[in-house]
Amino acid sequence: MTGTTRRDVLIGSGLFSAALMVPVAFGSSRSRAAGAPSLAGNTWLGVDAQGRVTLALPKTEMGQGILTTITMIAAEELAVRPVDVVVSIPDGDSVRFAPIDQGTGGSTSVREVWQPLREAGARARIALVNAGARQWGVPAAECDAHDGAVVHRPSGKVLAYAALVAAAAAAPLPTEAPVRPASAYAVIGKSHRRLDGDAKARGVAEYGIDVVVPGMKYAAISVSPIFGGKLAGVDEAAARAVQGVTGVIRGADVVYVVGDNTWAVRQGITAAKAQWTADAASTGTQQAGVIAAVAAALDKPGFVAATSGDLEAARVGAAHRFSATYTQPFLAHATMEPANCVAHVHDGQCEIWTGSQIPGDARKAAAKRLGLPLDKVTLHNRLMGGGFGRRLEADMVERCVDLAKQVPFPVKLIWSREEDMSHDWYRPAYADHIDIAIGADGKIAAWEHKIAGSSIMARLLGPAFKGVDDDAVEGAITPIYPARARKVTFQQQESLVPTSWWRGVGPLRSAFVMESAIDEVAHQVGADPIAFRLAHIEDPRARAVLEQARDKAGWGTAVAPGVGRGVAVIHLWDTYMAAVAEVTVDKDHQIAVKTVTVVVDCGQAVNPSGVAAQIDSGIIFGTAGALYGEVTIANGRVEQSNFHDYRVLRMNEAPVIHTTLIDNHEKPGGMGEPPNAVIFPALANAVFAATGKRLRNLPLQKGLEAG
């Protein structure tokens, strides 16, 4: 065992460069303890006795690059190189980072840490500068921090942080600590290679699934494939007959097989041939019924999320009227690293190793599940092989501690891909109805938008939920198109299918509907889709991204038959983004995405290379979702199981992506989700341009084949 004290996993450059020099042997240990900071800018950023900047990452790294981004901001304020910062991935802790929430989702990370992180860095930097000035007996105003040292400008004298940190820590932290002005940025705004890239490329970075704890055994899991089903029988003897299987453990709706290695327990869980029972409501749950219920919910009045003006009055004398219903299916996350968790329950305590987007909440969930006080539960967080919202749920931790409390050793529980795919928390299936009236003056007179579907917020809020899901209606209630009268409603409609956050969350749903609908209206009135949008959008930043995308994409130039360009523009997560997608549709109705031109204004880009990477990522993730993504239900079970029936994009299908970043020093916006949201409608609009077929029901490929 590794003990019960906090052990942050160091992934700073020092460790990785050391790892490079060690010839890779069979087995390795890549953890070491982080020294406590001597000078604390706050509870997670400081300078240690050797003068090294130490950062406990207040957000979680799932591939989005936040480790690098946050380190860059810290490096900027503390005047060191990002590679010199010793970064650790901290344990789940809901107190240490307050008011910042370790929970990482909703494209909030940079927006949330931007101010407190810089202020903490500035406090530490100025404490060091003051210590240097005191030592030299010179005014602090003559000193500055530079490259890990304090410099006295007039004399050129230099003292490294290591020589000043004790004195700086002994004095009270400065109350006045202005952050670096944008004009002085040496790190922020300049592309920086990912700090975790090299170790990941070499296969030496540690993900949750790679954790090895001494004495650990392995386990496979099978949860009832029918929603709400219960375990009815297990062929325990057959499972135990598999060489390497040491145990079979049953729960109400689950069976675990434990053994010496993953192969043994995978065979064991197959041999166990678990049987399940479920009531008729569960086994009778069918795709068509679930989807029909969501669509029918649109006929209810719904709860008002936003209203302004008088819709009926605004519709009088309309020059054009447009209304349509759009539907979007359940989606699985299909993170590259399947769900997994390691846990050890012993002596009234529990230690957990996993990759979680919510390490603090997952720790609490484990404590609750085990009936242990929170301080008896430790969650060591790890790098994640993809999150996309899947790891905003703690079910992998809960299932693992349920098992771990029944065995006297640490246990690593790994979901098979099939188990992961069929027991996800799915992006809700939604139905939206939109009704737009264009007045005689050509302006948008009335805009009515009804939204129906599962409410994630209702599940999370419980009785505090009042009928409007604030996530689901996000984007819908703050459109970039002004209207004289507007009404947006939400109607919750649940099924047995569990739902949760999926990259793009509610605003993705809103963006698909609104940017499809505005495109349809443009075509209906015979206007160019971009010119029509520009005729209505007032926000200059939204106009700028759209105009640049139009120009860079060669909008309006001739295309071959079967080729079409589609556009979408969003202002979501404090980021402005426009995309023009160019697709081809062949005679067999197969859609291929050739190029996507993206223009983004996300305010101050901390790491332009990272912003561009997120655009590649979201465009490709979203293209897979828009073209092919669909989870379907039959007899109460999810029908998809692996990448053969849940199609994702591959190298030969990836579009060429041209990204333009508009440089400015506005407050940073989110980047994890906007590209994924903008591409769904851009593709639907491009398919229309290519084929004349308006697809209002996702996924697009299926819709096109259905004719």
Partner 1 sequence: MAVTLTINGQRRDFDASPEMPLLWFLRDVAGLTGTKFGCAAGLCGACSVLMDGVRVFGCQTPVGDAVGKSITTIEGLTQQPLGKALVEAWNEVDVVQCGYCQPGQIVAAASLIATNPKPDDAAIDAGMSGNICRCGTYPRIRAAIHRAAQIHAGEPA
The residue ranges that bind ligand FES (CB under 6 A) are: 63, 336, 386
Question: Whose Cβ is closer to ligand FES: residue 143's or residue 413's?
Answer: 413
Does residue 62 touch partner 1 according to CB under 8 A?
A: yes
- Least distance in Å: CB of 427 to ligand FES? 19
The option from ligand FES, partner 1, none interacting with 589 (CB < 5 to 8 A, set by class) reads none
Q: Pick one of 3, 21, 26, 301: the residue that binds partner 1 (CB under 8 A).
A: 26
Question: Whose Cβ is closer to ligand FES: residue 41's or residue 385's?
Answer: 385
Instruction: Quote the tokens at residue 544.
Output: 């700028």
Q: How far apart are CA 675 and CA 600, in angstroms?
A: 9
- Least distance in Å: CB of 244 to ligand FES? 20
Q: How far apart are CA 177 and CA 168, in angstroms?
A: 14
Instruction: Quote the tokens at residue 265.
Output: 């327990």
Question: Whose Cβ is closer to ligand FES: residue 189's or residue 622's?
Answer: 622
Preceding peptide of 116 cis, ω within 30°: no
Question: Whose Cβ is closer to ligand FES: residue 63's or residue 675's?
Answer: 63
Question: Whose Cβ is closer to partner 1: residue 24's or residue 634's?
Answer: 24
Q: How far apart are CA 143 and CA 152, in angstroms?
A: 4
Does residue 335 touch partner 1 according to CB under 8 A?
A: yes
Binding residues among 192-211 for partner 1 as defined by CB under 8 A: 193-194, 196-198, 200-207, 209-210
Preceding peptide of 699 cis, ω within 30°: yes
Q: Pick one of 4, 28, 277, 323: the residue that binds partner 1 (CB under 8 A).
A: 28
- Determine the distance from the C-alpha atom of residue 100 to the mean position of all C-alpha atoms in its chain, rounded to a whole number: 17
Does residue 657 touch partner 1 according to CB under 8 A?
A: yes
The option from ligand FES, partner 1, none interacting with 683 (CB < 5 to 8 A, set by class) reads none
Rg (C-alpha) for the chain, rounded Å, is 27
Q: Pick one of 17, 50, 115, 191: the residue that binds partner 1 (CB under 8 A).
A: 191
Question: Whose Cβ is closer to ligand FES: residue 336's or residue 461's?
Answer: 336
Question: Whose Cβ is closer to partner 1: residue 266's or residue 459's?
Answer: 266
Question: Whose Cβ is closer to partner 1: residue 209's or residue 682's?
Answer: 209
Stretch that binds partner 1, among 60-68, 182-190, 584-592, 681-689 (CB under 8 A): 60-68
Q: Pick one of 12, 46, 385, 498: the residue that binds partner 1 (CB under 8 A).
A: 385
Binding residues among 236-265 for partner 1 as defined by CB under 8 A: 243-244, 261-263
Instruction: Quote the tokens at residue 209.
Output: 């699934």
CA pseudo-torsion sign 493, 495, 365, 427: negative
The maximal CA–CA distance of the chain, rounded, in angstroms, is 84
Q: Are 412 and 216 in contact (CB under 8 A)?
A: yes
Burial of 56 (0-12, 13-18, 19+ CB in 10 A): buried
The option from ligand FES, partner 1, none interacting with 77 (CB < 5 to 8 A, set by class) reads none
Nearest to 165 by CA among 150, 155, 176, 179: 150
Binding residues among 574-633 for partner 1 as defined by CB under 8 A: 609, 613, 616-621
Q: How far apart are CA 496 and CA 321, in angstroms?
A: 37
Q: How far apart are CA 220 and CA 411, in angstroms?
A: 10
Binding residues among 343-372 for partner 1 as defined by CB under 8 A: none
Question: Whose Cβ is closer to ligand FES: residue 336's or residue 460's?
Answer: 336
Q: Pick one of 41, 51, 63, 668: the residue that binds partner 1 (CB under 8 A).
A: 63
The option from ligand FES, partner 1, none interacting with 196 (CB < 5 to 8 A, set by class) reads partner 1
Sheet with 143-146, side-by-side order of all strands: 143-146, 149-152, 157-160
Nearest to 140 by CA among 200, 368, 151, 239: 151
Does residue 504 touch partner 1 according to CB under 8 A?
A: no
Does residue 336 touch partner 1 according to CB under 8 A?
A: yes
CA pseudo-torsion sign 483, 486, 492, 495: negative
Q: How far apart are CA 260 and CA 275, in angstroms?
A: 24
Q: Pick one of 416, 455, 493, 701: the residue that binds partner 1 (CB under 8 A).
A: 416
Sheet with 217-223, side-by-side order of all strands: 245-250, 254-259, 217-223, 411-414, 340-346, 349-354, 377-381
DSSP conformational letter for 432 = E
Stretch that binds partner 1, among 18-26, 81-89, 147-155, 312-320 (CB under 8 A): 18-26
Residue number closest to ligand FES, CB atom: 336
Question: Whose Cβ is closer to ligand FES: residue 453's or residue 610's?
Answer: 610
Element spanning 22, H or E: none
Q: Are 472 and 506 in contact (CB under 8 A)?
A: yes
The angle that helices 66-78 and 109-136 make with each other, rounded to 10 degrees, is 30
Q: How far apart are CA 37 and CA 32, in angstroms?
A: 15
The option from ligand FES, partner 1, none interacting with 277 (CB < 5 to 8 A, set by class) reads none
- Least distance in Å: CB of 63 to ligand FES? 5
- Least distance in Å: CB of 642 to ligand FES? 9
- Least distance in Å: CB of 262 to partner 1? 5
Q: How far apart are CA 131 and CA 140, in angstroms?
A: 9
Contacts of 496 (CB under 8 A, 6+ apart): 227, 228, 281, 282, 285, 636
Contact pattern for partner 1 over residues 130 through 169, marking x by CB under 8 A: ----------------------------------------
Q: Is 185 helix (H, G, I), strand (E, B) or coil?
A: coil
Q: Is 269 helix (H, G, I), strand (E, B) or coil?
A: helix
The option from partner 1, ligand FES, none interacting with 414 (CB < 5 to 8 A, set by class) reads partner 1
Instruction: Quote the tokens at residue 247.
Output: 């145990």
- Least distance in Å: CB of 86 to ligand FES? 24
Question: Whose Cβ is closer to ligand FES: residue 163's or residue 648's?
Answer: 648
Question: Whose Cβ is closer to ligand FES: residue 558's or residue 651's?
Answer: 651
Does residue 269 touch partner 1 according to CB under 8 A?
A: no
Residues that bind partner 1 (CB under 8 A): 23-24, 26-28, 62-65, 191, 193-194, 196-198, 200-207, 209-210, 212, 218, 243-244, 261-263, 266, 334-338, 383-388, 414, 416-417, 609, 613, 616-621, 642-644, 648-654, 656-657
